[in-house]
């Protein structure tokens, strides 16, 4: 399978300091990859480098084997769409918001959306289950609905690669799973490659077929979830105690936290 994205020897950061050191990562087309790691480990910085907000200081990024620096802003937006932690709250109609995803396909002088734009926007609103909200204002929606609408907006860009930066962090478990199931479906049915930053290690293990664990601006380890979510890696990178096991139904790795009280009472060694 050819790759959608290759990151070769990437170093970058703000100002004079480096926040990312020599990142190497290849994402095959149709992959579902999770990026995990503690706060400040460079996950979001990596996203900024991919989406073009930060310029690499060293190294190169290839999008479908072409140097990403050679893409125009608009061309890039036709290939990569980004969904962030939250939508800037704005009193805009849901349908108009989703239609913004069609921006990369319009020239500066085409003033109004075409019929095709409406069709595409409606298709993805139906797919994300937000079509019935189309005449509401974004400010009237719940956090979960806003995220679903934002995903519909991102899909309207018709990207090959979808980047999600903690897109489920603020949501309850029901909405988290709803969104992750949707992403899985997009990945399976539409072959959209997915790269997401996610804090919840269990969800990362359950949904992703490849994990990248970052620490202090570098990749600590990458591989299949059962390799990456090993207690030795987690304890070292997150500086915490965990127990790992296997989900009896899905067979995916699960990670359990252990309170310090339990540990200091000595029960920790007995139960494991």
Partner 1 sequence: MLPKLKYLFVLFFLLLFLLFAFIVSLMFGEVSFSLNNIVGILNSGEGNLKYAILMKIRLPRIVLGIAVGGSLSLSGAILQGIYRNPLVEPYTLGISGGAALAVSLVIVSGLESFASALALPLAGFTGSIAVIFFVYFFSVQRGNLQSNNMLLTGVMISFIASSLMMLLMAVASNQGLRSIIFWTMGSLDEPNILLIKIALTASFTGLFFSYFFARDLNALRLGEEKAVHLGVNSTQTIRFLFIIASLLTGISVAVAGIIGFVGLIIPHMMRLLAGNDYRILLLSSFLGGAGFLILSDTLARTIISPNELPVGVITGIVGGFAFMIILRKKYTI
Name the site residues for partner 1 (rule: CB under 8 A): 14, 48, 51-53, 72-78, 80-82, 84, 87-92, 96, 100-101, 103-104, 106, 108, 111-112, 139, 157
Least distance CB 26 / partner 1 (angstroms): 23
28 bridge partner residues = 3
Least distance CB 194 / partner 1 (angstroms): 16
Tokens read off for 185: 């479906």
Identify which of residues 74 and 265 has a Cβ nearer to partner 1 in the complex.
Answer: 74
Least distance CB 268 / partner 1 (angstroms): 41
Identify which of residues 118 and 231 has a Cβ nearer to partner 1 in the complex.
Answer: 118
Closest CA to 69 of 155, 7, 142: 7
Least distance CB 182 / partner 1 (angstroms): 19
Query: What is the CA 160 to chain-centroid distance, rounded?
Result: 13
Find the DSSP H helices in the chain. Answer: 43-51, 73-79, 94-99, 115-127, 143-156, 173-189, 201-207, 225-228, 231-238, 260-264, 267-271
The packing angle between helices 115-127 and 143-156, to 10°, is 140
Q: Are 63 and 83 in contact (CB under 8 A)?
A: no
d(CA 240, CA 108): 52
Closest CA to 244 of 259, 260, 226, 265: 226
Identify which of residues 75 and 209 has a Cβ nearer to partner 1 in the complex.
Answer: 75
Identify which of residues 34 and 101 has a Cβ nearer to partner 1 in the complex.
Answer: 101
d(CA 93, CA 149): 11
Identify which of residues 102 and 233 has a Cβ nearer to partner 1 in the complex.
Answer: 102
Identify which of residues 78 and 252 has a Cβ nearer to partner 1 in the complex.
Answer: 78
d(CA 94, CA 138): 6
Least distance CB 163 / partner 1 (angstroms): 8
Least distance CB 108 / partner 1 (angstroms): 6
Q: Is 152 helix (H, G, I), strand (E, B) or coil?
A: helix
């Amino acid at each position: 399978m050819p790759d959608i994205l290759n990151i070769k020897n990437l170093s970058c950061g703000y100002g004079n300091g480096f926040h990312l050191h020599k990142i190497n990562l290849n994402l095959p087309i149709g992959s579902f990859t999770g990026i995990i790691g503690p706060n400040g480990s460079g996950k979001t910085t990596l996203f900024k480098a991919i989406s073009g907000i930060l310029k690499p200081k060293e190294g190169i990024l290839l999008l479908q084997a072409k140097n990403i620096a050679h893409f125009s802003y608009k061309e890039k937006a036709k290939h990569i769409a980004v969904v962030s932690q939250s939508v800037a709250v704005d009193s805009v109609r849901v349908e108009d918001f989703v239609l913004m995803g069609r921006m990369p396909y319009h020239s500066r002088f085409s003033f109004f959306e075409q019929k095709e734009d409406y069709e595409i926007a409606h298709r993805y609103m139906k797919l994300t289950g937000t079509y019935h909200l189309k005449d509401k204002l974004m400010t009237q929606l719940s956090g979960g609905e806003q995220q679903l609408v934002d995903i519909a907006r991102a899909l309207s860009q018709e990207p090959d690669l979808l980047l999600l930066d903690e897109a489920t962090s603020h949501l309850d478990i029901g909405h988290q799973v709803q969104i992750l199931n949707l992403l899985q479906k997009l990945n399976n049915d539409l072959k959209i490659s997915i790269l997401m930053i996610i804090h919840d290690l269990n969800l990362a293990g359950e949904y992703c077929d490849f994990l990248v664990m970052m620490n202090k601006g570098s990749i600590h380890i990458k591989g299949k979830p059962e390799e990456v979510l090993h207690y030795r890696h987690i304890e070292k990178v997150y500086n915490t105690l965990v127990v790992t096991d296997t989900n009896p139904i899905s067979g995916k790795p699960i990670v359990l936290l252990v309170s310090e009280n339990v540990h200091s009472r000595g029960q920790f060694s007995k139960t494991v």
